[in-house]
Amino acid sequence: MRKLFLLLLLIAVAGGGYWFMFLRDQAPERPSADFADEKPATGLDPDNPTRELHVDFAELERTKPLTREERARLTPANLAGLSQEEVDQIYGRLSAGPIPDGYWDGGLFFPRGSGGKTRMGEIIGSVLGEIVNEKVQFAERIGHGLWQGKFFFKEQGVLRNAIQDLKLFEILIDDPTKVPKAEIPAKGWRSWISSTSDVWQLFPAKLHCGQSLLDGRRESVIIDYAYTDDVDGYQELPDSLAGRRGLRIRDEIRMVRPGFYLGRAYADRIFLLNFTLYDPAIAEAGMQGFLNGEDITEECWPGETGLAAAN
């Protein structure tokens, strides 16, 4: 009975993600950035043995650096329309930038192959591949309906995830009265009803700089869920599900431009999905200075040579 209840609830919540899916399905203009042709695998990534290496990021950055104008034209929507190999190539030509602070709106998308379908569905192919493709897209809608973004508490070195406040989910939380709550700008169909939306601050993580699992040449901002038992507001259920006794989630992010970060989520060092973080106020205020070549604050190690000269 409980499984049926959760299934019906997730189906209802999935509707919250249709807005983002609708926007992405409108095929936004493809980014103008150059990409390297995918080559036969050169070996396994030493930091992620489930992933084959196809592109030398150092060579890519030397020959095809991302200019600030190209980065300015990247958006959460047009990134979600790229193949995973292309998203990886964008990420490998970014640096961490400053560690974010405050609330950042979030979007997520699963890996896609060169044909636009989910990578898993494309690999499987045939009718079964189409079924898998539909199920992954359904999971995306669930994710957009539930996960709204992230709250960064920079001074404390802590992060919490913004999860849609659904009264029916209270049975899955040890003590709902102790969960920190907040209001965020409403999005999707909820914005037709109210300008704000109530969210829970669940799944705390710790913030620090560390080596990227995709590109070890420079650091990323790491969002680590492993040891959060001592974070104020931590509850065994559901917070432990993301931690060392659960899925062992580890996120990492790099800055595309002020107000916009591209992230990668891993479970036990296995890549799961991409996500974006966006603050429209910072993006608007920082765009002109970014295009004019103002220095980027780097709070993590930018590598021995930093980004390519085009930046």
Percent of the chain with pLDDT over 70: 74
161 within 8 A of 124, measured Cβ to Cβ? no
Domain ranges of the chain: 2-291
Indicate the DSSP class of residue 28. Answer: P
SS3 of residue 36 by DSSP: coil
What's the whole-number mean pLDDT along residues 5-32?
49
Which range (22-26, 158-162, 289-293) has the least confidence? 22-26
In whole angstroms, what is the distance from residue 269 CA to residue 273 CA? 12
Lowest-pLDDT choice from 17-21, 214-218, 251-255, 276-280 = 17-21
Could you tell me the pLDDT band of residue 299, with boundaries at 50, 70 and 90?
A: very high
Q: Is the pLDDT reported for residue 23 higher than 50?
A: no
Phi-psi group of 125: left, alpha or beta (phi > 0 → left; psi -120 to 50 → alpha; rest → beta): left
pLDDT score recorded for residue 42: 62
Q: How much is the pTM?
A: 0.83
Largest CA distance in the chain: 60
- Determine the Cα angle at 148 with ends 143 and 280, to 5°: 130
pLDDT tens for 221-246 read 999 999 999 998 899 999 999 999 99
Per-residue tokens: 37: 């042709």
pLDDT of residue 256 exceeding 90: yes
Alpha-carbon Rg of the chain, whole angstroms?
19
Which tokens is 28 given?
A: 């936004």
Bond into 238 cis (ω within 30): yes
Distances (CA, A) of 64 to 12, 35, 109, 244, 263: 44, 7, 25, 39, 21
159 pLDDT more than 80: yes
Distance separating alpha carbons of residues 172 and 189, to the nearest angstrom: 25
User: How does pLDDT run across 180-217, given as a tens digit for each residue?
Assistant: 999 999 877 677 888 889 999 999 999 999 999 999 99
The token pair that represents 182 in the structure block: 């907040």
Judged by average pLDDT, the poorest of 11-15, 28-32, 69-73, 118-122 is 11-15
Which positions ≥6 away from 238 have C-beta within 8 Å? 172, 173, 202, 203
149, 162 in Cβ contact below 8 A? yes
In this predicted structure, what is the pLDDT of residue 103? 98
Write down the mean pLDDT value for the chain.
81
C-alpha 74/C-alpha 78 separation (Å) is 7
pLDDT at 125: 46
Confidence at 287, pLDDT banded by 50, 70, 90: very high
Taking residues 30-58, what's their average pLDDT? 71
3-state secondary structure of 21: helix
Contacts of 132 (CB under 8 A, 6+ apart): 118, 120, 121, 124
pLDDT level of residue 12 (50, 70, 90 thresholds): very low
Tell me how far CA of residue 65 lies from CA of 52, 69, 84, 262, in angstroms.
22, 11, 18, 17
